């Protein structure tokens, strides 16, 4: 699959009723678990791997030069995070 197809499929617009999308809303949504999530210009993009997420961010920085993307990985609910 070409990267262009992955980029187009990764875009999810969830803006409803003119509300602003926040990372708090995204983190509480179960459909993003196990994915890398990028939020920019009130639009949400997802990726399954960090490499694809980096490519999406590179493309978004060119598309939205005045915006700063917020990016995070949302682990699955049964993932154990160890702190050392």
The pLDDT value recorded for residue 71 is: 93
Please indicate, yes or no, if residue 39 is contained in any of the structural domains. yes
- pLDDT at position 17: 59
CA distances from 79 to 28, 45, 51, 60, 67 (A): 15, 22, 21, 29, 32
DSSP category for residue 35: E
CA-nearest of 72, 57, 61 to 22 is: 72
What is the C-alpha radius of gyration for the chain, rounded to an integer number of angstroms?
13
Range of the domain at 37: 3-74
Is 0.75 surpassed by the pTM of this model?
no
- Choose among 59, 26, 20, 56: nearest CA to 41: 20
The answer to the question of residue 84 being in a domain is no
Residue 1 has pLDDT above 50, yes or no: no
Residue at 81 is within a domain: no
Q: Is the pLDDT of residue 74 over 60?
A: yes
Q: Residue 43 domain-assigned?
A: yes
Alpha helices in 11-67 (DSSP H): 23-27, 50-63
How many distinct structural domains can be found in the chain? 1
pLDDT, one tens digit per residue, over 22-45 is 888 888 889 999 999 999 988 899
Q: Higher pLDDT residue, 15 or 30?
A: 30
8 Å CB contact between 69 and 60: yes
Q: Is the pLDDT of residue 7 over 70?
A: no
């Amino acid at each position: 699959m070409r990267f262009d197809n992955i980029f187009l499929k990764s875009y999810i617009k969830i803006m409803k009723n003119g509300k602003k999308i926040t990372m708090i809303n995204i983190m509480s949504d179960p459909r993003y678990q196990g994915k890398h999530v990028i939020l920019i210009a009130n639009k949400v993009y997802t990726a399954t791997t960090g490499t694809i997420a980096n490519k999406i961010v590179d493309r978004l920085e060119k598309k939205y030069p005045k915006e700063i993307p917020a990016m995070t990985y949302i682990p699955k609910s049964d993932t154990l995070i160890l702190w050392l």
